[in-house]
């Protein structure tokens, strides 16, 4: 029963990403009052609010139903911390090379930008931060589902990451299709190595994912 609940919540976290796009329904209303960039900002803010409500609600429901056991904090060895830093810096370097030695947010802004375009970009990034959080929740729940059903696992790799690749990865390709997806899709697979390498620390893996997806 518990394993089915983990699978259910994994799917709920994924579909929550699409529920955030309800904000688009308010776009015609905003267009009648504001300029284009302000409309984008308001839609993204509304989407972020929807995401936050869904994240808080799902987390509360999951803790009530599953009652997860708190794990003891384990410190990472210097070797593991060094490897994780190198992976993060390496991925950021590859992405910056692809964008002409610029950080991704600045390359996407282009040469002509103003305060409104910057605020628009920041509002988009706020949505992406929570989308990556949903991705990690999907991954963690599906990983527990696989463990509960005794699916084959490896010490330094979580095959359950392929579930994330076939859901969140395809979503990323469709919605954010650009040259950077050449890095992000393999990076999702790489998370299958990073997660166990952080001793399956949700927040450490999430921090790395946010840095790579944003920068």
Give percent above pLDDT 90 in the chain. 17
Put residue 98 in one of left, alpha, beta given phi > 0 → left and psi -120 to 50 → alpha.
Answer: alpha
In the chain, which ranges are continuous DSSP H helix? 2-19, 27-31, 36-66, 78-98, 104-109, 115-148, 161-164, 170-175, 181-197, 202-214
Give dist(CA 34, CA 49) in Å, integer: 20
Distance of alpha carbon 182 from alpha carbon 213, whole angstroms: 12
Cβ neighbours of residue 84 closer than 8 Å, sequence gap 6 or more:
76, 194, 197, 198, 204, 208
The pLDDT of residue 15 is: 92
Report pLDDT for 67: 72
| pLDDT band per the 50, 70, 90 thresholds, residue 137 | very high
Q: Say yes or no to pLDDT of 57 above 80.
A: yes
How much is the mean pLDDT over the chain?
A: 82
Tell whether the model's pLDDT for residue 101 goes beyond 70: no
Of 156 and 56, more confident? 56
Domain limits for position 198:
2-67+76-214
Mean pLDDT confidence for 142-170: 84
Among the listed residues 128, 79, 76, 83, the one whose alpha carbon sits nearest the alpha carbon of residue 104:
128
Domains of the chain: total? 1
Judged against a pLDDT cut of 90, whether residue 134 lies above it is answered with yes
Structure tokens at 67: 């009652």
Statement: residue 106 has pLDDT above 70: no
Q: Which tokens go with 97?
A: 């090379």
pLDDT of residue 53: 94
Task: State the Cα–Cα distance between residues 213 and 175, nearest whole angstrom.
Answer: 14
Closest CA to 199 of 66, 73, 69: 73
Whole-angstrom Cα distance, residue 169 to residue 181?
Answer: 9
**Least trusted range by pLDDT, from 26-35, 42-51, 134-143:** 26-35
Q: What is the pTM of this model?
A: 0.86
pLDDT value of residue 113: 65
Residue 204: which of 160, 140, 128, 158 has the closest Cα? 140
**Per-residue pLDDT for 71 more than 70?**
no
pLDDT in tens, 14-24: 999 999 888 88
């Amino acid at each position: 029963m518990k394993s089915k609940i983990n699978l259910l919540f994994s799917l709920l976290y994924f579909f929550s990403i699409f529920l955030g796009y309800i904000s688009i329904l308010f776009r015609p209303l905003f267009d009648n009052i504001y300029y284009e960039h302000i409309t984008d900002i308001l839609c993204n803010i509304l989407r972020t609010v929807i995401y936050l409500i869904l994240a808080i609600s799902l987390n509360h429901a999951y803790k009530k139903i599953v009652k997860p056991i708190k794990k003891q904090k384990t410190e990472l060895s210097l070797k593991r911390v060094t490897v994780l830093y190198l992976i993060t810096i390496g991925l950021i370097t590859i992405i910056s090379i692809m964008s002409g030695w610029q950080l991704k947010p600045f390359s996407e802004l282009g040469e002509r930008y103003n305060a409104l375009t910057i605020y628009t970009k920041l509002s988009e990034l706020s949505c992406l931060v929570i989308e990556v959080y949903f991705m990690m929740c999907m991954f963690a729940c599906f990983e527990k589902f696989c463990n509960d059903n005794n699916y084959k696992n490896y010490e330094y790799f979580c095959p359950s990451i392929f579930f994330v690749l076939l859901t969140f990865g395809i979503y990323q390709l469709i919605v954010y299709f650009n040259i950077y997806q050449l890095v992000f899709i393999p990076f999702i697979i790489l998370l299958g190595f990073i997660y166990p390498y952080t001793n399956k620390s949700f927040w450490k893996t999430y921090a790395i994912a946010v840095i790579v997806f944003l920068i």
